[in-house]
Structure 1
Amino acid sequence: MLIGVIADDFTGASDIAVTLAKGLVGEGGLNTTQYSGVPTMPADADVEAGVVALKSRSVAANEAVEQSLAACRWLLDQGCEQIVFKYCSTFDSTDSGNIGPVTDALAALLEVRSVVMCPAFPALGRTVYQGHLFVQDKLLNESGMEHHPLTPMTDADLRRVLRRQSVNPVAHIAWQTVVQGSQVLQQAINEPQTRTLLIVDAISEHDLTTLGRACQGAKLVTGGSGIALALPHNFIAQGRAKGKQAQAPLIDGPEAILVGSCSGATRLQIAEHQKNHPVMMIEVKDVLSGETGPAQLVAFITEHQGRAPLVYSSGDPEAVKRVQEQYGRERVAAALDSLFGVTAQQLVAAGTRRIVAGGGETSGAVVSALGLGALTIGAEIDTGVPSMVSRGRQPVALALKSGNFGGRDFFARAVDALRGDD
């Protein structure tokens, strides 16, 4: 294994996994496998990039650090020469972490001096300029992320955000340096004499390619999935990887769509889906009272099999906030995680073979409950969302969608793509 990734949620893991598997246009990527949690067994010998998916974005900082260090040690045991800490392209965190504390801990373990930090993902409108994170044409704190129910982002200056989280100095490499090319950028990255976290500007995929090439030989790199665009190139150019196209077997069989995201994009996707497909809304109060449980969800999906049935618990940020204030955020999150996780278990036990999950927390709950282990990365369904297939005698095909990812008709296209109809 050449590159090892530690991802702080499951949708982000699949996002960077498909980036590594694709590589640069015309060149191909690495043979990439995604793991659900820290594996207990060695990786297959042919795996060139391994992505460990954790559910550590919203847990306590010390717990996130512990999980991330365990993942890092396993990846190092597999022979990884470069570790990537993958977080969301909207830098989802609070003033206490978890991006800063995890980065600090990984940097100490790997004994590195300079650490690149770049969440940019221009394909989805996330760019970093003069140290500030933009979503399309808006600063992060004016993009809607300031209302996020778990990690509200109220400051677009990543230097300030990180200084509140990290024990290490924070510096900035401006776009004017990035555009001078990978050699100049690499010199700037290697300049600090003491451990320093470096926010690096990037406003295009070309900038990210320059940055990826400049990270050749870096033991630790952090960022959104875009940071990985050119990382496979470094090993392919050295003749240490051949470059290949991502492939996964196609799976037929019953399908289900489980959605727990409250993002604006997801709400629009649900509205589009229900025009032609059966949709069931879940009320949180009914889940907490026991009136709605896995049995009701499974019955709905089974009744509408073959028509891409979708069940969801979602709403606008204000509605979600009211529910959390009434019942408690942790209680609501735990109840929904359990609901979707147990539902997925019962569906697969009954023969469901294609599952699309919407939202990072929901995706994590589904994959964790199913205990699928290693997942083979296939073709990209939509930007940042690959098809994935579990191993074993009864494989399950999955698509894990982050809240803001995907086109308006994503859900219908995703279930078809997992079957090979797209």
Structure 2
Amino acid sequence: MQLGVIADDFTGATDIASFLVNNGMSTIQLTSIPKQPINIDCNIQAVVISLKSRSCAVNIAVKESVEALRWLKEQGCSQFYFKYCSTFDSTDKGNIGPVIDALLDELGESFTVISPSLPINGRTVYQGYLFVMDKLLSDSGMKNHPINPMKESSLIKLIERQASGKCGLIPYCEIEKGEIAIREQLTRLKQENYRYVVLDTLTDEHLVSQGKAVKDLKLVTGGSGLAIGIAKNFAKNDVNSKQAQILGKPQGHNKTVLLSGSCSLMTNKQVEFYKSIAPTYTLNIEKCINQPEDYCQVVIDWINNHQKQKYAPLVSATTDIEQLNVIQQTWGVEKSSQAVEYFFKQLVIALEKQGYDKYIVAGGETSGVVVQALNVHGFYIGPTIAPGVPWVRSINKSISLALKSGNFGDESFFVTAQGDF
């Protein structure tokens, strides 16, 4: 084992696992910190542990992240990677900053990098400011995120509000010079007692240079993009990763269902597109709250009645920001979100009993609920559907899943994901 990754949600974990595999590292994803010894193939170079720590209480996020780090240290990992969202989803109190501080302290280190960029999906950093496509983070759809609305675009300001040290910057003009220049800047900033350093990033080539430059850092932090460079430090050949992709390829998918819980702008577009060509059921939040078991059977019957059509049925809790505000004002943020999560949990448990073995899921929180409901212990990483979204197959049962972060994929993602394998 060479690289240990701690991801703060399920879709983020599959996201980075996909990038590691595609760049030559054989990788396995675990859905929790193992409580018992597990057998991991000796050819596996990286392990990604999925946590649900992005939006929980800070103390819980820190505790679980440190526990994951300790387990990865026991497996002999030489470098550790804290993976968070490419839109830096967080509040002024955390959870990204406190987790980074806790991981640094646990490793006895005092210095790391901040690199959330994912250029292929339009996430870039310039002069320390995070952009989503051509908009500053604070002007993008993330400004209305239902859990972590992002009102600030400066990564330096964001991390210094959350964490305990000062943050520096390696600007584009230095990043463009390549590995040696980046390494020199890292050395200088560390000597000047900076604890964190934001890395400007506009291209995948910048990520490759960054990966080489941070090879000797015990802890690196970022989105999945930095994995492009990190993987190349460890990859000897692509035989192991290709074998791992074969293991992750969907098999025996007799019954398929789509579940969407994300309310992101892109997921809204994807759901609207799918509605025009395939059976789509929009959940009634009041029924999810007041009669979840009875309502669950109604939805199951609907799914079964639409299983034989060209495209699999979609059950959606996705809605636009205006309707979401109405729901949250009527029922409360926590009550409505918990009701939807509970409903999806009961639905998935029932569907598995009926032989459903292929799940396409939109939204990090929804993906976590689905994986836990299915009692999946870990995944083999399969072929990529869209950048950062691979097919994965359970290591302990015959189930395949596509777990999509809210803003990933194009409008036709749900159709593309159902291609032949």
User: What TM-score does the superposition give when structure 1 sets the normalisation length?
Assistant: 0.94
Letter in 1 for 2:143: E
Compared with structure 1, are the counterparts of its residues 178 and 43 closer, same or farther at alpha carbon in structure 2 (3 Å cutoff)? farther
- The 5 A counterparts of 1:149-168 are 149-168=146-165
Which residue does 1:18 correspond to in 2? 18
SS of residue paired to 1:42: coil
1:121 matched to 2:125? The reply is no
> Does the CA contact (< 8 Å) of 1:56 and 1:64 recur in 2?
yes
- The 5 A counterparts of 1:117-266 are 117-191=114-188, 192-193=190-191, 194=193, 196-236=195-235, 244-245=241-242, 246-247=245-246, 248-251=248-251, 252-266=253-267
Moved over 4 A (4+): none
1:290-333 Cα shifts (integer Å, max 9, x gaps): 16632222222111113310000011112212212221211112
Distance of 1:387 and 1:140 partners within structure 2: 28
Q: Identity, % of aligned pairs?
A: 39
Distance of 2:233 and 2:204 partners within structure 1: 16
Which of 355, 370, 373 matches 1:351? 355
Letter in 2 for 1:309: P
1:273, distance to aligned residue in structure 2 (A): 1.0
Letter in 1 for 2:34: P
Distance of 1:298 and 1:39 partners within structure 2: 32
> Does the CA contact (< 8 Å) of 1:120 and 1:127 recur in 2?
yes
User: What TM-score does the superposition give when structure 2 sets the normalisation length?
Assistant: 0.94
> Does the CA contact (< 8 Å) of 2:207 and 2:228 recur in 1?
yes
1:70, distance to aligned residue in structure 2 (A): 0.9
Letter in 2 for 1:299: D
Distance of 2:168 and 2:124 partners within structure 1: 17
How many correspondences in the alignment?
A: 410
Distance of 1:360 and 1:244 partners within structure 2: 25
- The 5 A counterparts of 1:6-405 are 6-23=6-23, 29-40=24-35, 41-44=37-40, 45-191=42-188, 192-193=190-191, 194=193, 196-236=195-235, 244-245=241-242, 246-247=245-246, 248-251=248-251, 252-290=253-291, 293-307=295-309, 308-392=312-396, 394-405=397-408
Letter in 2 for 1:205: D
Distance of 2:266 and 2:2 partners within structure 1: 35
1:79, distance to aligned residue in structure 2 (A): 1.0
> Does the CA contact (< 8 Å) of 1:43 and 1:78 recur in 2?
no
Distance of 2:212 and 2:304 partners within structure 1: 49
Letter in 2 for 1:170: C
SS of residue paired to 1:225: coil
SS of residue paired to 1:164: helix
Letter in 1 for 2:398: P
Which residue does 2:3 correspond to in 1? 3
> Does the CA contact (< 8 Å) of 1:354 and 1:415 recur in 2?
no
Distance of 1:171 and 1:302 partners within structure 2: 55
Moved more, 218-227 or 183-192: 183-192
Distance of 2:43 and 2:298 partners within structure 1: 42
> Does the CA contact (< 8 Å) of 2:379 and 2:392 recur in 1?
yes
SS of residue paired to 2:226: helix
Letter in 1 for 2:378: A
Distance of 2:354 and 2:4 partners within structure 1: 35
1:122-143 Cα shifts (integer Å, max 9, x gaps): 0011100000000111100001
Compared with structure 1, are the counterparts of its residues 242 and 355 closer, same or farther at alpha carbon in structure 2 (3 Å cutoff)? closer
Letter in 2 for 1:403: G
SS of residue paired to 1:286: helix
Structure 1 residues not aligned, in runs of 5+: 24-28
Distance of 1:357 and 1:138 partners within structure 2: 27
Distance of 1:215 and 1:95 partners within structure 2: 27
1:407, distance to aligned residue in structure 2 (A): 1.6
1:43, distance to aligned residue in structure 2 (A): 4.7
SS of residue paired to 1:226: coil
